[in-house]
Amino acid sequence: MHDQPFVSVVIPNYNYAKTLPRCLEALQHQTYKHFEVIVIDDGSTDESVEIAKQYPCRLIQTRNNGVSAARNLGAAEAKGEIVFFLDSDVALFEDALANTVTAFEEDPTLGSVCGIYAKEALFRDSLFEEYRTLQGYYWRKSSEGYVTAGFFSLGAVRKSVFMELGGFDRRLNNSEDIEFGHRLNEKYRLLLTSKVMGYHDDEDEFRKLARKMHERARQRVPFYFHRKKPTKGFETPLRGIGMLFVGLSTLLLPLALVEASMLWGFLACVLVFLLTDAGQYLFVRKERGLLFTLYFIAMHWAITAVVFWGFVRGFFNFATSRQFRMKYKYGE
């Protein structure tokens, strides 16, 4: 009789034929062996289904309903005491499942254990992807500990807790992690730990990430209004101040192009932005050198500007659209 907890690895997938083999291969090399793999293919139009059939997993095909619905379906089908949600563009370190189980066993108050992405990308597709990979690693690594925002691209939940909470909000496919994490924290604790890690194939184009981050920021406005609780994790007050100064700098930049005196105001805003997250840039300087750090700063300023205007758009939508307020009234 097996005395180790059984783990169900649930992988939602939509058109990730490029990364799915690496994801499934990494699971075959886990040091922890008492688990099953469930792939929920969410209506892929590429070769994902054929790829999944080549690996030891249970494949469930659905029409395209979004990641939240796919995860909920996988959890309902799971036989394990622990449900480990894993995106199909992530390849786990070989000790990830073992360390997850250990964390649950050591702390019975935990409802969830979430991991972080490695500082190396799964595929090095572009310089921009290297920016995003290092940035994501640093923010999560510097936020280790008990948090309120979940990261269920590689995060586990006790199945009993998941079913008690009713799963992810199907209306959300961009901010479902943070909403579920806050609901979970009302009764349980959520641990973010670098002992659970995986290589991630992040966005490799500015346009793709900008669209995603803008919409995520827009959706979070009603969350902050309705929940009335701060998010504990990488969204620190200092980083919030930095974002405000980035927003101001975007207003000053066009003025600086026609009025030289405005340039000093723009540069002052950028300086405040840098100081509010100085540790991040020192980390990048150590990892990749000065030239890449300058590129990193430029990209991070631009993405932060996109996020700022996403929040502005969200506040406008919240004030003018009852449909927006109700549609994104999280957890209700």
Question: Does residue 274 share a domain with residue 150?
Answer: no
Contact between 131 and 291 under an 8 Å Cβ cutoff? The reply is no
Residue 252 belongs to a domain: yes
Question: Does residue 189 share a domain with residue 245?
Answer: no
Question: Does residue 257 share a domain with residue 181?
Answer: no
DSSP, res 122: S
Tokens of residue 107, six digits: 């702390």
Question: Does residue 154 share a domain with residue 78?
Answer: yes
Residue 270 belongs to a domain: yes
Contact between 120 and 133 under an 8 Å Cβ cutoff? The reply is yes
Contact between 312 and 288 under an 8 Å Cβ cutoff? The reply is no
CATH number at residue 123: 3.90.550.10
Contact between 82 and 7 under an 8 Å Cβ cutoff? The reply is yes
**pLDDT tens per residue across all 332 residues of the chain:** 468 999 999 999 999 999 999 999 999 999 999 999 999 999 999 999 999 999 999 999 999 889 999 999 999 999 999 999 999 999 999 999 999 999 999 999 999 999 999 999 999 999 999 999 999 999 999 999 999 888 999 999 999 999 999 999 888 777 788 889 989 999 999 999 999 999 999 999 999 999 999 998 998 888 778 776 666 666 778 899 999 999 999 999 999 888 888 899 999 999 999 999 999 999 999 999 999 999 999 999 999 999 999 999 999 999 999 888 876 665 45
The residue among 6, 16, 198, 163 whose CA lies nearest residue 90 is 198
Helix (H), strand (E) counts: the chain: 13, 9
Axis-axis angle for helices 278-288, 290-320 (nearest 10): 140
User: What total of structural domains would you count in the chain?
Assistant: 2
Domain-terminating residue out of 159, 178, 202:
202
pLDDT at 1: 41
Question: Does residue 169 share a domain with residue 308?
Answer: no
Helix boundaries (H) for 153-205? 159-165, 176-184
Domain-terminating residue out of 175, 202, 229:
202
| Dist. CA 263–CA 269, nearest whole Å | 10
Q: What is the DSSP string of 219-243?
A: HHHHHHHHH--PPPSS--HHHHHHH
Backbone φ and ψ for 235, nearest 5 degrees, come out as -85, 75
Tell me which residue range forms the domain holding 31.
7-202
Residue 224 belongs to a domain: no
Domain-terminating residue out of 183, 202, 221:
202
The amino acid at residue 126 is S
Question: Does residue 257 share a domain with residue 133?
Answer: no
Question: Does residue 49 share a domain with residue 162?
Answer: yes
Question: Does residue 166 share a domain with residue 24?
Answer: yes
Question: Does residue 264 share a domain with residue 178?
Answer: no
Question: Does residue 107 share a domain with residue 31?
Answer: yes
Residue 318 belongs to a domain: yes
Question: Does residue 48 share a domain with residue 174?
Answer: yes
